[in-house]
């Protein structure tokens, strides 16, 4: 008993440390790793009832969110799994009660007096007792199967999103992407290039993403897409020539806003100014049921030495320098979200979120 708890502790600790040390970064990676981790937790942990399992996952979730509050994908995956468990429980109780008393499914039964409550409960109790043991292992395998499905879903996110390319891009279009570091965007463009001919303007996102930008630009150019690297300052100058702006989101909130690389908010504002449509691509695992009430807690701040290198010693120490890594884009700047389950308008995101998570699990504490 204690040894298995110990084992679980080690498992959780190592994962939390990996997150803290940023050995796992990027929402895709984080989501994937979290799934694997949960799989291990599910199979190695011991619990008596589904409620206990839920409590366990929630306590782990608390630790993970505390370890890396801005890697929303980890929390989202946990919530997905919790929703899975809860669904299963409610299914069972529903089917359990359905065995005895079918739920009112038709209008005319509304007026029929319900069967005796006491009797019904007794029946349920009996059923529960007999099934309790078989049910636990059953639930375990169901959860593991669910996590497997989730892994498959995450792995095929790019392909599913890429199916929408034809609907989004016309021939000879000029696209601008202010998030050069986004894998999803890169994949989207590469897939799109098979069907359409277009030009991509890709911003540098200096200083945080510039290397990724160069890598992405190289990949795009190698795929025979006309690629133009532009400095971040040039966005306004070229916006009049841009057909659509394509951004990759790092996390999408229930109000339809999203967190993404720094500088994107200004780019989207500029697009709005020019009435250029903005579409964001994001896998479902990036959708978070939280609301972005406090912008400051969402924005991560990075190494300011990248902004003002120590070479400028006469400035370092005299100037206050900040280097926000992330940026919050409000929903009014975004026209549509392209996800692996289809395209949605930002003001519909709350509904997608409700479909996938339980409200009980929005907050882990």
- Structural contact between residues 4 and 44, judged by C-beta atoms closer than 8 angstroms: yes
Closest by CA position to 279, among listed 168, 353, 123: 168
Q: Which of 124, 321, 341, 362 binds other proteins (CB under 8 A)?
A: 321
Q: How far is the CB of 325 from other proteins (least distance, A)?
A: 9
211 binds other proteins (CB under 8 A): yes
CA Rg value for the chain: 24
DSSP labels for 83-129?
A: HHHHHHHHHHHHHHHHHHS----SGGGGGSPPPPHHHHHHHHHHHHH
Closest by CA position to 49, among listed 123, 146, 121, 131: 131
Selected range binding other proteins among 28-36, 49-57, 112-120, 235-243, rule: CB under 8 A = 235-243
Q: How far is the CB of 229 from other proteins (least distance, A)?
A: 5
78 binds other proteins (CB under 8 A): no
In the complex with other proteins, the residue whose CB is nearer, 41 or 225, is 225
The conformational region for residue 280 under phi > 0 = left, psi -120 to 50 = alpha, else beta, is beta
Q: Which of 324, 341, 344, 362 binds other proteins (CB under 8 A)?
A: 324
Q: Are strands 198-203 and 258-261 parallel, antiparallel or unpaired?
A: unpaired
Q: How far apart are CA 76 and CA 286, in angstroms?
A: 7
Bridge partners, 342 (sequence order): 339
Q: How far apart are CA 24 and CA 32, in angstroms?
A: 10
266 binds other proteins (CB under 8 A): yes
Selected range binding other proteins among 29-37, 62-70, 119-127, 258-266, rule: CB under 8 A = 258-266
Selected range binding other proteins among 52-60, 114-122, 156-164, 209-217, rule: CB under 8 A = 209-217
295 binds other proteins (CB under 8 A): yes
Q: How far is the CB of 215 from other proteins (least distance, A)?
A: 6
Q: Is the peptide bond before 155 cis (omega within 30 degrees of 0)?
A: no
Q: CA-CA distances (angstroms) from residue 205 to 50, 236, 313?
A: 46, 14, 24
Q: Which of 234, 255, 290, 356 binds other proteins (CB under 8 A)?
A: 234
Q: Which of 182, 205, 288, 339 binds other proteins (CB under 8 A)?
A: 205
182 binds other proteins (CB under 8 A): no
- What burial class does residue 115 get, using C-beta atoms within 10 Å of its C-beta: 0-12 exposed, 13-18 middle, 19+ buried? exposed
Q: Which of 89, 230, 341, 362 binds other proteins (CB under 8 A)?
A: 230
Output the six-digit token pair for 190. 């590469």
Provide the 3-class DSSP secondary structure of residue 1: coil
322 binds other proteins (CB under 8 A): yes
Selected range binding other proteins among 38-46, 154-162, 275-283, 293-301, rule: CB under 8 A = 293-301
**Binding residue count for other proteins, defined by CB under 8 A:** 61
228 binds other proteins (CB under 8 A): yes
Residues that bind other proteins (CB under 8 A): 174, 199, 201, 204-208, 210-211, 214-215, 217-218, 220-222, 224-238, 240-241, 261-263, 265-266, 269-270, 273, 295-296, 299, 307-309, 311-312, 314-315, 318-324, 327-328
């Amino acid at each position: 008993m204690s040894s298995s708890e110990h084992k679980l502790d080690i498992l959780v600790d190592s994962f939390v440390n990996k997150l803290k040390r940023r050995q796992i970064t990027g929402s895709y990676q984080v989501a994937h790793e979290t799934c694997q981790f949960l799989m291990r937790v599910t199979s190695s942990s011991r619990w008596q009832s589904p409620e206990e399992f839920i409590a366990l996952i929630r306590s782990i979730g608390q630790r993970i969110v505390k370890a890396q509050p801005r890697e929303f994908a980890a929390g989202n995956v946990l919530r997905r799994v919790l929703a899975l468990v809860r669904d299963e429980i409610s299914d069972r109780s529903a089917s359990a009660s359905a065995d005895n008393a079918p739920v009112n499914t038709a209008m005319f039964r509304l007026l029929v007096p319900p069967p005796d409550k006491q009797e019904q409960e007794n029946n349920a109790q009996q059923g529960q007792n007999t099934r309790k043991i078989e049910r636990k292992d059953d639930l375990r395998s169901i959860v593991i199967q669910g996590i497997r499905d989730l892994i498959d879903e995450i792995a095929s996110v790019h392909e599913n999103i890429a199916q929408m390319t034809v609907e989004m891009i016309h021939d000879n279009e000029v696209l601008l992407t202010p998030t050069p570091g986004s894998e999803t965007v890169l994949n989207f463009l590469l897939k799109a290039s098979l069907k359409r001919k277009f030009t991509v303007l890709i911003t540098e996102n200096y200083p945080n993403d510039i290397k990724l930008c160069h890598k992405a630009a190289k990949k795009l150019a190698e795929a025979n897409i006309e690629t133009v690297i532009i400095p971040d300052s040039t966005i306004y100058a070229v916006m009049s020539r841009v057909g659509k702006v394509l951004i990759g989101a790092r996390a999408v909130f229930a109000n339809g806003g999203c967190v993404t690389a720094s500088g994107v908010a200004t780019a989207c504002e500029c697009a709005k100014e020019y009435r250029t449509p903005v579409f964001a691509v994001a896998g479902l695992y990036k959708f978070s049921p939280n609301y972005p009430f406090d912008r400051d807690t969402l924005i991560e701040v990075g190494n300011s030495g990248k902004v003002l290198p120590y070479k400028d010693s006469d400035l370092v120490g005299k100037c206050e320098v900040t280097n926000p890594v992330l940026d919050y884009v409000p929903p009014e700047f975004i026209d549509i979200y392209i996800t692996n389950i289809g395209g949605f308008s930002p003001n519909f995101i709350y509904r997608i979120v409700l479909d996938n998570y339980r409200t009980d699990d929005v907050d882990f504490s």
